[in-house]
């Protein structure tokens, strides 16, 4: 596989995209990878690289591209706190458009995954963009909260999901908790949305992140194997 940093314009701002491509000409199915709170860091880049090695064009957009240290100082808010759902949707849509215009990408076979904050973004992407064929959030918190100027949360927009979802939860995670999982499951079941939820015993938030102290090898291996099978069934089948 090969990796590169690409740039697209979103609302007059340059947004970086970490892109991983399999060897060959394609067309390849694609996966948008949504960052955690740390940004498009070593862990997120490793996920992109792993997906590319599995035959996917994988793209991780830098969602903090509108924020500077000066803005953080003057507002007293962190980069994460400055995110706005409408702007996130614009960033995800721009990433999808970038992939769809790539000559080596199968424009009809695109999925989305994300980790921590990015798990929430993956759910938001699934309710906002009908082009996604599969959605895989990992321990996404704050799904019931709107961010920025948004008036409805990703959870409140769940009726708009039109692709199957696989959600991974850590058993001892507090956000999302197992109580949150029950609420999500009840709502998706009520709406008739195809979904499967997996709980990993003893696992906490960020259990898949090998750069973090909560990393749990056994849970990570199982969750990743399930994810690859789910992606393949919905994007390669």
From 171, 227, 165, 230, select the one nearest 199 (Cα to Cα). Answer: 171
| CB atoms near residue 177 (< 10 Å) | 15
Whether the predicted pLDDT of 235 surpasses 90: yes
- Rg (Cα) of the chain, in Å, rounded? 17
123-164 pLDDT, tens per residue?
A: 999 999 999 999 999 999 999 999 999 999 999 999 999 999
DSSP 158: G
Which domain, by its residues, includes 192? 2-235
Q: Mean pLDDT across the chain, nearest whole number? A: 98
Whether the Cβ atoms of residue 176 and residue 141 lie closer than 8 Å to each other? yes
Predicted pLDDT at 35: 98
The stretch 73-85 carries a mean pLDDT of: 96
Whether the predicted pLDDT of 237 surpasses 90: no
Share of the chain above pLDDT 90, in %: 100
Share of the chain above pLDDT 70, in %: 100
The stretch 12-40 carries a mean pLDDT of: 97
Predicted pLDDT at 60: 99
The stretch 3-20 carries a mean pLDDT of: 97
Please tell me the distance from the alpha carbon of residue 190 to that of residue 193, in angstroms, as a whole number.
8
Query: Given strand 2-10, what is the order of strands in its sheet?
Result: 2-10, 13-21, 57-61, 28-34, 105-115, 132-138, 165-170, 195-200
The stretch 82-100 carries a mean pLDDT of: 98
CATH of the domain at 28: 3.40.50.1820
Residue 71, H or E segment: helix 69-75
State how many domains the chain has. 1
Whether the predicted pLDDT of 8 surpasses 90: yes
Cis omega before residue 36 (within 30°)?
no
Please tell me the distance from the alpha carbon of residue 101 to that of residue 104, in angstroms, as a whole number.
9
The stretch 99-103 carries a mean pLDDT of: 98
Q: How confident is the model at residue 44 (pLDDT cuts 50, 70, 90)?
A: very high
Q: How confident is the model at residue 112 (pLDDT cuts 50, 70, 90)?
A: very high
Q: How confident is the model at residue 119 (pLDDT cuts 50, 70, 90)?
A: very high
Please tell me the distance from the alpha carbon of residue 17 to that of residue 171, in angstroms, as a whole number.
32
Whether the Cβ atoms of residue 195 and residue 165 lie closer than 8 Å to each other? yes
């Amino acid at each position: 596989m090969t990796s590169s940093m690409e740039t697209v314009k979103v609302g007059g701002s340059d947004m970086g995209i970490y892109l991983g491509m399999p060897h060959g000409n394609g067309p390849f199915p694609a996966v948008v990878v949504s960052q955690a709170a740390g940004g498009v860091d070593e862990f997120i880049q490793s996920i992109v690289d792993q997906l590319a090695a599995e035959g996917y064009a994988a793209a991780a957009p830098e969602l903090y591209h509108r924020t500077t240290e000066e803005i953080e100082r003057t507002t007293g808010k962190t980069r994460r706190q400055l995110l706005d759902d409408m702007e996130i949707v614009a960033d995800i849509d721009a990433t999808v458009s970038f992939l769809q215009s790539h000559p080596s990408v199968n424009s009809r076979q695109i999925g989305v995954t994300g980790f921590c904050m990015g798990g929430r973004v993956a759910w938001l992407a699934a309710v906002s963009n009908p082009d996604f064929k599969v959605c895989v959030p990992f321990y996404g918190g704050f799904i019931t909260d709107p961010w920025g100027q948004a008036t409805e949360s990703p959870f409140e927009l769940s009726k708009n999901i039109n692709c199957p979802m696989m959600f991974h939860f850590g058993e001892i995670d507090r956000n999302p908790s197992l109580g949150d999982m029950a609420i999500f499951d009840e709502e998706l079941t009520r709406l008739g949305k195809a979904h499967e939820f997996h709980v990993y015993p003893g696992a906490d938030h960020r259990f898949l992140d090998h750069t973090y102290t909560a990393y749990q090898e056994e849970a990570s291996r199982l969750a990743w194997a399930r994810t690859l099978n789910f992606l393949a069934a919905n994007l390669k089948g």
